[in-house]
Amino acid sequence: MHRMHRKHLGTALASAGLVAGTLVALSGPAAQAAPTATTIYVAPNGSASAAGTMSAPTTLATAISRAAAGDTIYLRGGTYSFSSTVTIPQTSNGTSGARTTLAAYGSEKPVLNFSAQSESSSNRGLQLFGSYWHLRGFTVERAGDNGIYVGGSNNVIERTVTRHNRDTGLQLGRIASSTPSSAWPANNLILSAQSHDNVDSDGEDADGFAAKLTTGKGNVFRYAVAHNNIDDGWDLYTKTDTGAIGPVTVEDSLAYDNGTLSNGSQAGNGDRNGYKLGGDDIAVNHVVKRSIAYDNGKHGFTWNSNPGTMTISNNLSVNNTERNFTFDGGTSVFRNNTSCRSGSGTNDRIIGNSDSSNQFWSGSNGSRCSAYSGTLGWSFASDGRLVVTLGGKQVTL
C-alpha cells in the first residue's frame, strides 16, 4: 500500500457519499465467427526476426506490426530501452468483440523506458492511435513528452503506471492537427491506472492525466490515482482555438500532493490542482463523482473558467492549499460533497446549484477533521477497484 503521513485528515468518508463503483465490461459481445487469435511474446532481448514465441520472443515494434484483431501481445518482465516513440498506428484496430491486447505476461513487470529521449513535443513514449485495444499492466517512464498518448477510440488502458515523463503522464488528444473533431478520441476507459512524478522543464504542463484540447465524447477515468505531478492531477483544459471537448467522467479516483514531486521539488509555474475542469470560458458538462482531492498545492476541485453544468457529487476534498472547491461561475450541480480543513485557508466558493446535502467549508470545522487524523493510504484491490484509507477508515471505491 502507498502511504503518506499527515495530521487532521478530515471528515467521514460516509458523509462524502463514497460508495462502491461498478466495473464496466471490457469488450462487446463475441463475434459469431471470430478467427483464431494469435499470441505474440515480446522480451527486452527479443529479436525482430524471431517467431514471437515464448522461447523466441520478438520486439515490441515487430509484434505491433504483426498483430491483428483479437491477438494478444505479451510483454515479458524487465526494462525495455527506447530512443524513439513506439506507435500503434491508426490502421491497427481490434473490434468491439475482439480487442487487440498489449499486456504484461502474468505477474511480470515490464517497464518501457524512454530516458534516451530529449524533452520535446515530438518525443512521446507510447502512442495509441488504433482503436479497440486493451493495454494492461506495464509502466511507461521518462519519455521526452507524454508517457502514453491516446489518439484512438474505444480503448481500455488498465493498470498502467506513467511516471517521470516530461509532459503529462497519460493524455488523450487528436492524432494530428488535420484530424476533424468527429474523429477525436472517444469512449476510452482509463482504469485502475497510476500517474506520478511527471515534470517538464518549465513546470507548467506535466499533469498526471489529461483529456484536453481535442478529445471527443465518452472518455472515462475510473479508479485512477494522480499524485506528485508538477502541474495538476487531472487537466480537462479547453481553449478557444479548438473549442469544446466532449464531456469527461472522472469517478472513484484520487488526486493528492500535485504540485510537489515525491522528492519535494516544486516549480513556480505549476497550477497544482487536484482536478482542473476547464478553461477559456468554454462550457463542457463534465461529471466528477466519488473522488478524493487531498493536499494538492492549490485547489482540490476547480472549475477553471468552465461555465457549464457539471455534475459534482459525492466527492471529498481535504486540506488543499487554497480552496477545496473553487467554482466561481457556471451552473454546475453539487450534491453530497464534503470539504474539510484542519487549519487556515480560503473558504470554498460555490456558484451553481448547491443544497444542504453538501458540507462545504465556511469557517472552522476542525472538529470534523480531527477525528480522522493519521495516514492517507491507498492500493488497488484484486478486481482493480481503488481502496483508500483515511485516518484508519477504509473504503473500497
Q: Which residues are catalytic?
A: 276
Angle at 46 between CA 44 and CA 48, to 5 degrees: 130
246 HSE (CA, 13 A, CB side): 19
Please give the Cα distance from 397 to 395 (Å, whole number): 6
Question: Hey, CA dihedral for 211, 235, 290, 310, is it positive or negative?
Answer: negative
Phi then psi dihedrals of residue 388, to 5 deg: -120, 135
Please give the Cα distance from 112 to 165 (Å, whole number): 11
The CA-based dihedral angle spanning residues 214, 220, 225, 231, taken in that order and rounded to the nearest 10 degrees: 20
Please give the Cα distance from 242 to 217 (Å, whole number): 15
Please give the Cα distance from 222 to 87 (Å, whole number): 25
- CA distances to 196, 258, 303, 377 from 308, rounded to whole Å, are 29, 25, 9, 33
C-alpha cell at 330: 457556471
Alpha-helix residue ranges (DSSP H) falling in the chain: 60-66, 366-370
C-alpha cell at 279: 478553461
Q: Which of 273, 224, 270, 249 is nearest to 384 (CA)?
A: 224
Please give the Cα distance from 168 to 145 (Å, whole number): 7
What are the strands of the beta sheet with 209-211, ordered from one edge? Answer: 86-88, 126-128, 148-150, 170-172, 209-211, 234-235, 275-276, 301-302, 325-327, 349-350
